[in-house]
Amino acid sequence: MNKEHDLGAAHTGFHDWYWQRISAVALLLFLPALFGIFLAVYFGKVNYFTLNQWLTHPSGKILCSILLLSLAMHLWTGLKVIIEDYIHFAAGRVILLNLILLLLIFIGGYAAYVIWAEVSYNFLCVACTHLSMVWGEI
Amino acid sequence: MRTSTHQHTPPISPRLSIYRWRLTMLSSICHRASGMLLLLLIPALIWLLLTMSHNMVDFVYAMTWLHSPLGKLLVWLTCTSLLYHILNGIRFLCLDMGYGESRVMMRLSAKLVWLATLALAIVLAVAL
């Protein structure tokens, strides 16, 4: 590669590019595995108890956390590139990117809480609340 | 023809309206498009999986919802765009490492990615 002549205003372009590739490789390993589990559940090959055992086991939690982290990283770098390419109004771009970063941190934090906290949490929809009342907590 | 004012305007990178549409260009645009779609879908599916793994009632509810027509459409859409994004992502990683950078190979790999995606999309449409 040629030596770059203009690093851009923030000088972080290469790091973004590099971490996008790193997270891509991590996702390439973990995401198909998780999606395979999802499809197996969808087709009825894996039941509730096996799924519960896999995803609440410490190693399952650690793998989920690595997946979550690399997903957030890939999401951030990819979205940043798209926004920087298509939104040419600088102030709007900065505000949008910061909002997205905040949103990512909140969603990532919530997902990490769900992975690590031993809680049975609900969909928070009327139908489920009704079902829970009728069937009781199983 | 370059004027002095033209040199000071920063380049706007995706010149979609200027370049002629080709398969390789379509591949790059669709990589972004499928990425944006997955951005909306994959967190939802991971959330669904975690919900299903923590509560029996939610598991039953989510399964019945996923097997409804809308749920099936969502699963199909996610599978197809995820597969395209992964295959094209492998293609991009190979290009970054310096493999298959010639024009012929670029077009061939783009064609292969599209054919594989199309084949799996049809298989999934039948299987789901």
Distance from CA of B107 to the nearest CA of A (A): 22
Residue-wise pLDDT tens digits, B50-109: 777 777 888 888 888 889 999 899 999 999 999 999 999 999 999 988 888 888 888 889
CA distances (Å), origin A7, targets A12, A17, B119: 8, 13, 42
The pLDDT of A38-57, averaged and rounded, is 87
DSSP string, B64-118: HHHTSHHHHHHHHHHHHHHHHHHHHHHHHHHHHTTSS-SHHHHHHHHHHHHHHHH
Chain A closest CA to B114's CA: distance in Å? 19
Residues 48 to 107 of B: which have CB under 8 A from any A CB?
49-63, 66, 75, 79, 82, 86, 89-90, 93, 96
Average pLDDT, chain A: 80
A84-99 pLDDT per residue, tens: 888 888 888 899 999 9
pLDDT at B47: 72
pLDDT of B44 strictly over 80: no
Q: What is the pTM of this model?
A: 0.79
ipTM of the complex: 0.78
Contact A56 B55 (CB under 8 A): no
Give chain A positions within 8 Å (CB) of B89: 24, 28
